[in-house]
Structure 1
């Protein structure tokens, strides 16, 4: 019998690989099929992250408490959707002093760019939409407290 953790890990690996296959195909113009693939990848990745968000959030809170860096407020784990060259998905813990602000966050939009050709800049924005490809509004009073990567 495969443990629940291994099942989630395998499912997440398939979802990440599926999303990277969708995002990695070159295109000369924006195609409705490409947009639908991106949306599907975000949806599958978001579902996987929703399934493991609680245990990851508890783990991060335990580690930060043990290291004397506990968040004085509310936290939760949400998907990160990277916008730029291809669509990618990961996870982040968001934190804020008010529960209602944290509850509004549905994802973190990661916007990557360069500054003066020498600095790579990744901007992490807590947003109110699980699909920042469609539209989003920044959630004020909430920040990113951790970034979660999944090893394939």
Structure 2
């Protein structure tokens, strides 16, 4: 299982390095920035799709071993963070019905603040691979894990 985890991390690292996710966000928005965001989401989604199965199995094994098993269906999908700069990551979604989980193609992450003291991160399971264009919330499905990769 550890060998699979290392392989998953290597694939994620290669994909994120290829996307150039370590670069600073641009100060101006132009058509090139929008196209870069769309391309980044597509490539990042492709990379995450390739490692989603092993990551999902790993999360389910850990939660089972810790007595926190999900009583339903799970899968790993990309997280697309919208706001100041577009970012991509991964999340495990879970729900009691398989058809709801199957409909989820990504998780949209929206950040805001409340009274200048609280930072709020809203994670929404959505039906679109590219939430930058359009999306609809998938009801009956929640986010059960967030996957980050340290560069």
Q: Secondary structure at the match of 1:140?
A: coil
Q: How many angstroms does 1:61 deviate by?
A: 0.2
**After TM superposition, which residue ranges in structure 1, 4 or more long, deviate above 6 angstroms?**
none
Q: Secondary structure at the match of 1:121?
A: strand
Residue of structure 2 equivalent to 1:34 = 33
C-alpha distance 93-125 of structure 1, shift in aligned 2 (>3 A): same
- Aligned partners of 2:94, 2:59: CA distance in 1, in Å? 11
Q: How many angstroms does 1:15 deviate by?
A: 3.6
Residue of structure 2 equivalent to 1:143 = 142
Q: How many residues align?
A: 146
Give the TM-score normalised by structure 2.
0.90
Residue of structure 1 equivalent to 2:14 = 11
Residue of structure 2 equivalent to 1:50 = 49
Alignment gaps of 5+ in structure 1: none
Residue of structure 1 equivalent to 2:26 = 25
- Cα RMSD of the aligned pairs, angstroms, is 1.7
Deviations along 1:43-76, one digit per CA (max 9) or x if unpaired, are 1110110011000000000000011110000000
Contact 2:91 2:146 in 1 (8 A): yes
- Aligned partners of 1:42, 1:145: CA distance in 2, in Å? 21
Alignment gaps of 5+ in structure 2: none
Q: How many angstroms does 1:32 deviate by?
A: 1.5
- Aligned partners of 1:53, 1:114: CA distance in 2, in Å? 31
Give the TM-score normalised by structure 1.
0.90
